[in-house]
């Protein structure tokens, strides 16, 4: 059954021949994802992204400087612990700070997008209960908003490379699709965790733990070569492996990206994303009642 709403206003011109019509209809099957709704509400998506960026640094003394401070502090700690004390080897002649920064940057973007997306439905409970809009916009905005921090951090990384006498090669153009892949992974996982978080609030406390464990299961502080050859196939099932290794190659221009890890990771992301879209749509009708 289809319900049609035709908003009327007293100030409407009698000559007006077109009206905005909103159709609300039940799902027509498992794969009736209604993705066209997200496009029609792209203005709201832009507003949500803008608001998320403003709220992140609102009333913060250092403001957007945190986009620089956080990855820089992480790189300093990793350099001291893993580069100086543990003497973790780096491929080629890449200085460890560059090696670590090139991994921290995509990882921080993915982790922040996942954190926002997984908790977004609960955090936006008032809007979800009162306003009709595609709920998918909430995890989508959570995956897009951290791109600003990513862009700022990338600029800092390029400056650091110049300080070490390293110049980026033409491979740097691969940073854009790799960032897109990291964002799609954050969105895919958020589409699963977001609805679960609405029903079971334990997810809010579990997400930081998941992110922490996932980071050490990714080649952020150590190179892929340190993983035994016989376990590489299993290690490649982590989609962030291909993203991080590809990002290092794109920024430094050294070595060869692991195409196997990147291909396996991309396939897994597509599967997670499609499954997450179906799962999200099937639970969307209950969000307002459970939040």
From the number of C-beta atoms within 10 Å of its C-beta (0-12, 13-18, 19+), residue 240 rates as: buried
DSSP 177-206: HHHHHHHHHHHHHHHHHHHHHHH-THHHHH
pLDDT in tens, the chain (291 residues): 444 444 444 444 444 444 555 555 555 555 556 677 778 888 989 999 998 888 777 766 666 677 788 899 999 999 999 999 999 988 878 999 999 999 999 999 999 999 999 999 998 888 888 888 889 999 999 999 999 999 999 999 999 999 999 988 889 999 999 999 999 999 999 999 999 999 998 888 999 999 999 999 999 999 998 999 899 889 999 999 999 999 999 998 887 788 888 999 999 999 999 999 999 988 988 888 887
Q: d(Cα 126, Cα 94) in Å, to the nearest integer?
A: 49
Q: What pLDDT is attached to residue 115? A: 95
From the number of C-beta atoms within 10 Å of its C-beta (0-12, 13-18, 19+), residue 214 rates as: middle
Q: d(Cα 256, Cα 243) in Å, to the nearest integer?
A: 13
Tell me the backbone φ, ψ of residue 89, rounded to 5 degrees: -70, 150
Q: What pLDDT is attached to residue 34? A: 67
DSSP 213-228: HHHHTTTTSS-GGGS-
Q: Which residues of 149-167 are buried (b: 16+ CB within 10 A; e: fewer)?
A: bbebbbebbeebbeeeebe
Q: Are 168 and 257 in contact (CB under 8 A)?
A: no
Provide the total of helices (H) and of strands (E) in the chain, helices listed first. 13, 2
- Listed by start position, the domains of the chain span 32-290
- In the block, tokens 């049609």 appear at 4
Q: What pLDDT is attached to residue 259? A: 86
**pTM assigned to the model:** 0.87
- 76 CB contacts (<8 Å, ≥6 apart)? 97
Q: What pLDDT is attached to residue 88? A: 92
Q: d(Cα 247, Cα 252) in Å, to the nearest integer?
A: 8
User: Residue 24 is inside which H or E element, if any?
Assistant: strand 22-24
């Amino acid at each position: 059954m289809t319900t049609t709403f035709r908003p009327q206003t007293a100030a409407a011109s009698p000559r007006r021949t077109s009206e905005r019509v909103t159709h609300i209809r039940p799902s027509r099957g498992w794969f009736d994802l209604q993705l066209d709704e997200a496009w029609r509400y792209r203005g709201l998506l832009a507003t949500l992204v803008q608001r998320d960026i403003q709220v992140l640094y609102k009333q913060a003394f250092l403001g957007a400087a945190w986009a620089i401070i956080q990855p820089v502090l992480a790189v300093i700690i990793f350099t001291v612990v893993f580069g100086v004390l543990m003497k973790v080897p780096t491929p080629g002649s890449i200085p460890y700070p560059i090696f670590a920064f090139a991994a921290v940057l995509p990882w921080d973007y993915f982790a922040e997008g996942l954190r926002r997306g997984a908790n977004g439905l609960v955090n936006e409970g008032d809007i979800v209960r009162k306003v009709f809009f595609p709920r998918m916009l909430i995890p989508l905005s959570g995956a897009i908003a951290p791109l600003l921090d990513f862009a700022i951090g990338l600029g800092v990384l390029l400056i650091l490379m110049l300080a070490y006498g390293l110049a980026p090669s033409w491979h740097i153009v691969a940073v854009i699709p790799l960032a897109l892949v990291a964002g799609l992974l954050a969105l895919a996982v958020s589409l699963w965790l977001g609805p679960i978080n609405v029903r079971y609030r334990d997810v809010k406390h579990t997400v930081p733990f998941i992110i922490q464990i996932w980071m050490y299961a990714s080649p952020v502080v150590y190179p892929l070569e340190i993983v035994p050859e016989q376990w590489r196939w299993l290690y490649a099932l982590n989609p962030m492996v291909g993203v991080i290794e590809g990002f290092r190659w794109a920024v430094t221009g050294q070595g060869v990206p692991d195409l196997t890890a990147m291909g396996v990771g991309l396939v897994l992301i597509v599967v997670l994303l499609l499954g997450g879209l179906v799962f999200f749509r099937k639970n969307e009708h209950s969000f307002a009642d459970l939040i």
